Amino acid sequence: MREPSQLQKSLVDEAIYLRGRIVSSYSQVEFLLADISVKLDLRFPYLIKDRIKAVKRIAERPGYEVYKEDLDRLCEELLEYDELRHFMAHGFLTLTTDRKDNHQFEFLLYQRKAEGVFTLLSARTTISSLREAAEHITEYVSNAVKLFERIYREQKLET
């Protein structure tokens, strides 16, 4: 096996950085969903689907219905990033380049279908697509933080 080129090293370094941004961004919203549930229900839903259910229930409470549309949208958008987060957090990453310096990343990930039954999933992308995904999720998180800051301030949930 030959030594990776500078381009290959640069692409892998940036992909690792973007991977971290994507996973960290998703984690920020995961925490916010758990935090409001802990503060209002004294429960810590572990699975993301349970955190979403808890937040949707909170949005139906008196005084919180004003946030329902925003919270519902926040939860639905988070689910749009779920598969991406799984590949970023758990996928095996490889890079392929050709002689013209075109490149492609591939993520491999096992998904459990049943006890003892697994499917190997594959996702292919480029550095520009990873940049775009990182930008989108970063903007999403910024909006989520603003929403929760507003809710916490208006509902006096700050401690």
> Is 125 within 8 Å of 105 (Cβ atoms)?
yes
- Could you give the number of structural domains in the chain? 1
What's the angle, vertex CA 81, arms to CA 107 and CA 112, rounded to 5? 55
pLDDT at 159 over 60: no
Residue 12 counted as domain residue = yes
Instruction: Specify the pTM.
Output: 0.90
Residue 113 counted as domain residue = no
Average pLDDT over residues 63-92: 96
Q: For residue 66, what is the DSSP state?
A: G
Q: What is the pLDDT of residue 70?
A: 97
Q: What is the pLDDT of residues 12-59, one digit of tens each?
A: 999 999 999 999 999 999 999 999 999 998 888 888 999 999 999 999
Residue 95 counted as domain residue = no
Average pLDDT over residues 71-83: 95
Residue 114 counted as domain residue = no
Q: What is the pLDDT of residues 99-120, one digit of tens each?
A: 998 999 999 999 999 999 999 9
Average pLDDT over residues 69-83: 96
Read off the tokens for 49. 């689907």
Higher pLDDT, 136 or 41: 136
Query: Which domain, by its residues, includes 65?
Result: 6-89+130-154
> Is 109 within 8 Å of 94 (Cβ atoms)?
no
- CA-CA-CA-CA dihedral for 52, 63, 28, 128, to nearest 10: 80
Residue 107 counted as domain residue = no
Q: What is the pLDDT of residue 123?
A: 97
Read off the tokens for 120. 């190997």
pLDDT band at 2 (very low <50, low <70, confident <90, very high): confident
Give the whole-angstrom CA distance, residue 59 versus residue 126: 38
- The 3-state secondary structure of 38-74 reads HHHHCCCCCCHHHHHHHHHHHCCCCCCHHHHHHHHHH
Residue 142 counted as domain residue = yes
